[in-house]
Every structure is written in structure tokens, then in C-alpha cells.
Amino acid sequence: ETGVTQSPTHLIKTRGQQVTLRCSSQSGHNTVSWYQQALGQGPQFIFQYYREEENGRGNFPPRFSGLQFPNYSSELNVNALELDDSALYLCASSYNRAYEQYFGPGTRLTVT
């Protein structure tokens, strides 16, 4: 059974640029959630996708957008990057919306 994987591991972007982060869910899981974790803070919920539809969104602006594919993998897109977007971005998958979430290792984004 393959766990949740994320790519890339690290990346550095410049303020104003756009970035796409990718997540492959665990086998058999159809729900993907994305979180942002700033240094020293707990993860903050960005949004969740269930069967390719957005199923809830946290307090993040529209420049944070996402997508889920038929194989249940997912992308997080961030436009017009700001310095405060520097964080660890975590993806978590679950089997349906009512089960425990399994997290990937995260993507460390640095915005300069």
C-alpha cells in the first residue's frame, strides 16, 4: 500500500509568481485535504476535495485554488505569491470524508 506522496519536496519562488504543488493520495482514498503550516504553528485547513468537487474551504483567499483528478490525485495552485505564503504545505487523504486522514511529508515553499 503506497502512502501519500507530495512533490516537489522543496521549492523557492519569487513574490508575485505562481506555484503548483502536487499530491498523490493513498491507494483507495477519494478525499484530499490541503493544509498550510507556518513555522511554529499548527496546520491550517485550506480546502478539501471529495470525488473531484471542492468540499469545504478554510479562511484562505481565492488565489489559493485546487483541483482533484479522476485518480484522486490533487494539485494546489497559489497565484500572486506573497512572502507570508512561505510555509510547509501538507496534503492529507482519507477514504471518504468520515475517516482519519493520512498526511504526506509536505512541500516546503519559500517565497523571497
Partner 1 sequence: DAKTTQPTSMDCAEGRAANLPCNHSTISGNEYVYWYRQIHSQGPQYIIHGLKNNETNEMASLIITEDRKSSTLILPHATLRDTAVYYCIVRVVGNQFYFGTGTSLTVIP
Query: Residues interacting with partner 1, by CB under 8 A?
Result: 4, 31, 33, 35, 41-45, 48, 55-56, 58-59, 88, 90, 92, 94, 96-106
Q: Least distance in Å: CB of 87 to partner 1?
A: 11
Which one, of 105, 102, 103, 85, lies nearest residue 39 by Cα?
Answer: 85
Q: Least distance in Å: CB of 16 to partner 1?
A: 27
| Helix, strand, coil percentages for the chain (3-state, nearest 5) | 5, 50, 45
Comparison of 1 and 17: residue with beta carbon closer to partner 1? 1
Question: ω before 61 within 30° of 0 (cis)?
Answer: no
Q: Least distance in Å: CB of 104 to partner 1?
A: 5
